[in-house]
Amino acid sequence: MSDEIRIAFVDGHADVWRLFDDPAQLREIVEALVEPFRGDVTKVAGIESRGFILASALAERRAKGFVPIRKKGKLPPPVVDIAYDLEYGTGVLEMQAGEGRLLLVDDVLATGGTLGASVALSRQAGYVVHGIGVLIDIGIAPGFRCEEHVPRTVLQYP
């Protein structure tokens, strides 16, 4: 990745929106995320909401299908759901059932709770999780792995 890519933190949250504003940076991010998984996936799943942007760009770039993983009540039924613990409470994620080798994509790896729930949900929904791609690992969960998957991260902070 380019040395020019910097992330600002606003109220304790990584502000990745400006990375998406620059086409060259966005292209570089998408290529870095997809490179380890070339030819090995049939669909790309994006975790709400910034994961949608990255996952849909990866899916388009590699001519793969896009699968959204959303908060409860945002997808038309039928859906498969999973409850999980957040840093500040609990949440429910949903996705529609399907099949294929899936690459999961999200913007930030913090504690790993959302990624772990998304892996479990994807399997419940009929997918085989092939890999996990994350834009930024903010260093809260060093050495995080989800089952046999170590997320491929593009940027490490701090």
Q: Which residues are catalytic?
A: 50, 87
Phi, psi angle pair for 117, to nearest 5°? -65, -40
**What is the C-alpha separation between 76 and 20, in angstroms, rounded?**
28
3-state secondary structure of 55: helix
User: Which tokens is 74 given?
Assistant: 């945002």
Q: How many other CB atoms are there within 10 angstroms of residue 141's CB atom?
A: 15
